[in-house]
Amino acid sequence: MKTNNTILNTAIQTINLESQAIANLASLLNADFSDAVSCIFESKGRVIITGIGKSAIIATKIVATLNSTGTPAVFMHAADAIHGDLGLILEDDVVICISKSGNTPEIKVLVPFIKRAKNHMIAITGNPDSFLAKNADFVLNTFVEKEACPNNLAPTTSTTAQLVMGDALAVCLLKLRGFTSSDFAKYHPGGALGKKLYLRVSDISDANQKPQITSDTNIKNVIIEISEKMLGVTAVVDNQKIVGIITDGDLRRMLTKSNDFSHLTAKDIMSPNPKRVDANAMAVHAKELMETNGISQLLVEKNGAYAGIVHIHDLIKEGIL
């Protein structure tokens, strides 16, 4: 029976073996890598990435990474390519073929057609003496001494090396393109990462109710305003300027201090100089202000005037918090 220590030792050995193989990749880099990056960067077409088996799965991830960082890429399965999908490759496209051995039957059939079309071809392979490597314009060597699989059969270390090589390509291209966080947001408009980069406070607060009273509003109407607007808070505004804030917590504290509050007005229980945020600020900045001050809502200003409320629940809903 396997013990916990045995399981953990196997996991540690796997991680160490793969990390050592990844570290060794740096020593395998040569001018072909920089030339391959330049080839893709200067190309007017897309990057077509192909492979078979586990290499095909790695190819799809590299395609996704390139697309999300400004380099148009398309996945083409090597088996499908020789049965009709070669039409995916256009004149200016650069083709990346991924294969550990570089000698699989599908690759041997596919490569001559790519060469015949005169597309630039980049090989990501662990065998620089393979058919694929010898026919490629640029060879990115992902040689590994051993798979993490104890039988040295299941692609483990080798596919990790392919993945890292793909990441290295993507990051180099990203830097050459001057790809910024704003560019990233354009490609990730629906994700939490993208929202942190483009979503502004006004995008959230404009959809909320806008509770407000004056400093002379009586307590009954304060309670009505907070209840009707359902944000648990109201701004106290005089001449369009924020002078205070009243939360449902302030109302509860008022009830514990006095049996008769009919004579009270908003200015008697409000908190003056409340925390606020500009409508044009990034929503992630509002999150940081809430976290720093231990509060759950912020009053929003636009051009110095009261413009609404942003609540912590809004940030949770948008996936920012």
Task: Let me know: does 47 contact 64? Beta carbons within 8 Å.
Answer: no
Of 75, 72, 46, 71, nearest in space to 61 by CA: 75
Tell me if 63 sits within 8 A of 74, measured CB to CB. Answer: yes
Q: What pLDDT is attached to residue 20? A: 95
* CA-wise closest residue to 149 among 141, 160, 140, 162: 160
Cα angle 255, 258, 259; round to 5: 90
Look up residue 259 and give its amino acid: N
Is pTM beyond 0.75? Reply is no
Distance CA 165, CA 281 (A): 38
Stretch (H or E) spanning 97? strand 94-99
Residue listed under structure tokens 């299941």: 154
Confidence (pLDDT) at 312: 87
Burial class (CB in 10 A: 0-12, 13-18, 19+), 217: buried
CA 196 to CA 320: how far, in whole Å? 6
Residue 167: phi and psi, rounded to 5, are -65, -40
Please identify every stretch of the chain with a pLDDT value under 50, giving residue numbers as ranges: none
d(CA 213, CA 190): 36
Torsion on CA atoms 137, 138, 143, 149, rounded to nearest 10: -80
Model pLDDT, residue 143: 96
Write the CB contacts of 23 (distance below 8 Å, at least 6 apart in sequence). none
Structural domains in the chain plus CATH codes? 4-179 (3.40.50.10490), 198-317 (3.10.580.10)
Nearest CA among 143, 177, 115, 130 for reference residue 20:
143
Instruction: Tell me the torsion sign for CA atoms 267, 272, 277, 278.
Output: positive
Which ranges in 2-156 belong to alpha helices (H)? Answer: 4-28, 31-42, 54-68, 78-81, 105-116, 131-135
